[in-house]
Amino acid sequence: MRWINSRPGKGASLTLVMLPFVLLLAAYMLGSAARLAENPNDKLLPGLAALGDAISRMALEPDVRTGDYLLWTDTLASLKRLFAGLGIATVIALLTGLVIGILPYARTLLSPFVGAFSMVPPLALLPVLLIVMGLGEASKIALIVIGVAPVMIRDLALKAIELPREMIVKAETLSASSWLIALRVVLPQVLPRLITCLRLQLGPAWLFLIAAEAISADSGLGYRIFLVRRYLSMDVIFPYVVWITLLAVVTDILLDRLRIAVFPWSELEKGK
Question: Tens of pLDDT along 61-79?
Answer: 988 888 889 999 999 999 9
The alpha carbon of 259 is separated from its chain's Cα centroid by a whole number of angstroms, namely: 16
User: Shortest CA distance to 256 belongs to which of 205, 198, 203?
Assistant: 198
The C-alpha atoms of residue 44 and residue 86 are separated, in whole angstroms, by 34
Q: What is the pLDDT of residues 95-112, one digit of tens each?
A: 999 999 999 999 999 999
Contacts of 10 (CB under 8 A, 6+ apart): none
pLDDT reported for residue 268: 65
**Domain residue extents for the chain:** 3-45, 55-269
Architecture of domain 55-269 in this structure: Orthogonal Bundle (1.10)
Query: If pLDDT is split at 50, 70 and 90, which confidence band does 33 have?
Result: very high
Q: What is the pLDDT of residues 144-192, one digit of tens each?
A: 999 999 999 999 999 999 888 888 888 888 888 888 888 888 888 899 9
Summarize pLDDT for 198-243 with one digit per residue, the tens: 999 999 999 999 999 998 888 899 999 999 888 888 999 999 999 9
Q: Does the pLDDT of residue 269 top 70, yes or no?
A: no
Inter-CA distances, 115 with 17, 49, 157, 238, Å: 37, 49, 11, 37
Q: How far apart are CA 253 and CA 261, in angstroms?
A: 12
Residue 42 has phi, psi (to 5 degrees) of -60, 135
Q: How far is CA 63 from CA 56, 155, 225, 235, in A?
A: 12, 44, 16, 17
The alpha carbon of residue 42 and the mean position of all alpha carbons in its chain are separated, in whole angstroms, by: 33
Choose among 21, 22, 151: nearest CA to 90. Answer: 151
